[in-house]
Structures are given as C-alpha cells and as structure tokens.
Amino acid sequence: VLKLSHYVVATDVINDRGQRVIYSTRTGRRVLVSDTCYQYLLESRADELPQKTRDDLQRNMILVDEHEDELANIISENYTYGRTPQKRLYEVVQPTAMCQLGCYYCGQKHTKDYLADDLIHKLVQRITRKFNSGDYEYVHIGWFGAEPLMGLPQMRRILKQLRASLGEHIRIQGNVVTNGLSLKEEIFLELVHDFNITAIEITLDGIAKYHDQHRYTKSGNNSFDLIYENLKTILRRADFDPEKCKIVIRCNVDEKNVEGVEPLIRRIADDGLHKLIDKLYFVGIYSWAGNQADKISLTKEEFAMRKMKWEILKIQLGYKTAGKLYERKRNTCIATGGATELYDAFGNIYNCSEISYSDFYEKSAYKLGTLSTSTADTDFPDKPHHDWYQKVRDTEEFPCHSCKLLPICGGSCPKAWEEGSKACPPFKFSIRKEIELMYLLETTSDDVLHEKLAGFESTFSISDFKRFE
C-alpha cells in the first residue's frame, strides 16, 4: 500500500485543465496531476488510481510505501553521503586577517596578520596527510577572508609548498571569495592559470549609491567604482572563459540598500556583463558573530517576495538562469560532516566558516585547535554540529524535524538555529511561487514570455509568501 510522501509541495490549480504541479523534495522532480488525482492522494486513496499514474508518482517519490519512515531514510542518506569517499578534498584557508573594507554588517575583527611561514608548513603537512589517507583525487581550496587577496604572497607560498608536498600530478584548484578591490587583470590571470581558480565571488550591494553605504573602506572611501571597473575589465577580456572560471556576484540586502538592487540588475545587463557572469544572487543580512547586523533586515516574507521579483527581472533581461528547482542536499555545510576544516591567519582550526576573527566565539567549542599545537594527524572528535542530523531526526528541538523542505535544505545553518535565529532560506517562503514560475517558463513560448511574466508578477502579494508548513 502506498501513501502520499510527507516531502511534497503542491501548487494550486495551475492551468485551465484543472491540473496541479506536485514537487517532491526527496527527488527534486515535479509531476503534473489532475485535481481529481490530487484529491485521491489527499484522501489516502492512491490505490484506486490507474497503475500507470501510481508508478509515475512512485518513481518520483510522491507516493511511497506506507510503512516507510521517510525522515529516518533521509537522514541515513545524508550520513551515508558524509561517509562516502569523495574525489575532492575541500579545505578552506584564510591567508590573512586583513581587509581594506569596513562594512558595517561584518562580524570580523581585521588586523594586519598573515599566515606565518611555520604555520604554512604545518598547514601543508596537515592537508597532505589528509589527502594521502583518503581516496581523494584532487584538492580544492576555498580562499576566504577577511580579504584573501591581501594575503596573496601567503597564498603563493601555500600553493608552492602544497604542490611540492602532494606531487605535481595532483591537481590543486580552488575558489576565491573576494571584495574585488585588488582583482586586477594580472591577479585574475594568476588566479586562473596558477591557482586553477574555478570560481570567484565578488560582492556588490547595489549600484554605487547603495553599495557605498554598505561597503566602504576602513578610511571611509567608496569602493563600488573600483570593484566594478575590475569586474568589467576581466569579463570583457577576449580570452575570458566563463566555463573555466565562473564569476559570481553576491548582493547582501537590507532596508538600507534594497532599492539599489534593481538598478544593479539593470546596470549589469546594460553593460552586457549579464551573459558573462555565472550568476548574481541575493542574500538577506543576518547577525554575524552576535553583531545584530540584521536589525534593519527585511522580514523573511518581504525578502522572499522581492527576491522572486529580482529573479523574474533577470529572466526578462536575459541573464543566464538556472532553469530548475532545488535538488536534494545531502550535506548541509562544512560543519555537519565531511573532512573540511577552515584555517585562519593565526593557525586556528574550525569546522564552520563564520567563526574566525571574532572575540564572540573565542572560548567556544567552534575553535577545534590550532596548527601550532596539533600535529598533521590530530583528529578532533567532538566537532560542533556533527550530531546535527541526529538531533533533527530524534528531537523536536528544531522545526526541520517536520519540515517538508528538509531534503533540499538540510536545516540551512545549525549555528544560527543554536543561537536562536530561524535560519530558514527564502524558499521556505516562496517555494510554491517558484514552482509556478518554473511551470510558466516551461509552458510559455518566447514571444509571449514577457507579458506572461509581468502578469504573473503583478499578482504577487505578501500573503503569497508565508512560511510554508
């Protein structure tokens, strides 16, 4: 006997044939069903449906065996994934504690400290030991900050020593999260060719007027024009290859710059950069290391609605878009499993990316140890949040326990939940509308797309963006 899976989201009737879309968060797939079929599912009468319909729904995990403990299976899949040997050893390195910018929402304390040579040596030993004790094929380094490019000499040293230690035949690649100020052409080329950087993420918080209210230098100077020029120069190079190194633009949003987002979307398109970047994405500002930077954030509902409007505008302007909904997420973040560690410029070792350079966490369990006091094979058995999935499965402490979106979300950020904030991503508020949008894109011909999108968006009201239960 089959039952309707708990992990589904159904739209209202979506077309004049009276059909609905049902989306399974366990498979990430969608099925179009008649309203009658949907009523049968709700009334637990799946066995009365035609065999073909049942098979189809079962294959997509919209129908599951009535005895299946779905939550237990989802968690067990996540655990299995965490234990499955990966080809990639992912490590995060913060080569310096310095950054030119003094963004008001930043929770880090920046100082002129750089990873010292003795720590670089220990870092290389640690990464090499990890690599050699697993079945890895390559190393991927996330170069984070503070501002990683201010520690470029340290990055070079790490790369050189790591190459020597792992052997030239082992690929070392990475991604960089940078404020973009030092991203001059020659540095970009070095990142792509020497560091094998496959993605660079730069933050622009709106057009200049808004961005510069968020992201000014420590001495109070503007930063937008410099960053944007660097970006344009790189993207317009004749040899720029968007497949080799993806350029991602992040936009942090709160009340202060929300009106600067749409002009930014338009500016990037006007300059023809929208077809060259990999993506432009939006994030609500949250409290970072207890700094309460979220005081002037939009409500989650408002943000979710605005975000959908921005995504629609991007489609209208011809941005590259993902074209699919969310897929199954088996590892929430580096804290919930896997071998990844983060090393800061003082040699501290963490398993979470939001801890370093802040006094707030100084005495917390997040600080696993230091490179100077541990050896290459010191293991840290009690990492914070390694029991996250177990907690989600066995307790009702967090709403993720009963959330239908758990398979595609993973609980978002365990640290945020522990600290008392509701960590749900925007799609917790927009998932139904997002499914409708996807349907509209798939069923609308190009000649009427603009009109249809405009019509779709004009129906939005804040009550469409409620927390999905």
> Which backbone phi and psi does 22 adopt, to 5 degrees?
-115, 130
Shortest Å distance, C-beta 203 to ligand SF4: 17
Shortest Å distance, C-beta 383 to ligand SF4: 11
Q: State the Cα–Cα distance between residues 97 and 99, nearest whole angstrom.
A: 7
Q: Where are the beta strands (DSSP E) in 306-365?
A: 342-343, 348-350
**Which of 7/40 has CB closer to ligand SF4?**
7
Tokens representing 229 are: 């020029």
Q: Which residues pair with 279 in a beta bridge?
A: 248
Shortest Å distance, C-beta 258 to ligand SF4: 23
Shortest Å distance, C-beta 368 to ligand SF4: 13
Shortest Å distance, C-beta 425 to ligand SF4: 6
Tokens representing 206 are: 């709106």
Q: State the Cα–Cα distance between residues 353 and 421, nearest whole angstrom.
A: 17
Q: How many CB atoms lie within 10 A of CB 363?
A: 8
**Which of 142/260 has CB closer to ligand SF4?**
142
**Which of 213/353 has CB closer to ligand SF4?**
353
> CB-based contacts of 138: which residues, under 8 Å, 6+ apart?
87, 88, 89, 170, 171, 172, 173
Q: State the Cα–Cα distance between residues 105 and 112, nearest whole angstrom.
A: 20
Closest CA to 199 of 144, 151, 265, 261: 144
Residue type, 423: A
Q: State the Cα–Cα distance between residues 438 and 322, nearest whole angstrom.
A: 10
Distances (CA, A) of 171 to 138, 140, 196, 206, 404: 5, 8, 9, 36, 39
Q: Interface with ligand SF4 by CB under 6 A: which residues? A: 333-335, 352-354, 385, 399-400, 403, 405-406, 409, 411-416, 423-424, 428
Shortest Å distance, C-beta 459 to ligand SF4: 24
**Which of 186/382 has CB closer to ligand SF4?**
382
> Which backbone phi and psi does 200 adopt, to 5 degrees?
-125, 125
**Which of 84/364 has CB closer to ligand SF4?**
364
Q: Is 49 helix (H, G, I), strand (E, B) or coil?
A: coil
**Which of 49/334 has CB closer to ligand SF4?**
334
Q: Say what angle helices 117-132 and 152-166 make with each other, to 10 degrees.
A: 40
**Which of 48/382 has CB closer to ligand SF4?**
382
**Which of 176/424 has CB closer to ligand SF4?**
424
Q: Give ∠ CA 439-441-447 in degrees, rounded to 5.
A: 140
Shortest Å distance, C-beta 334 to ligand SF4: 5
**Which of 269/409 has CB closer to ligand SF4?**
409
Shortest Å distance, C-beta 430 to ligand SF4: 11
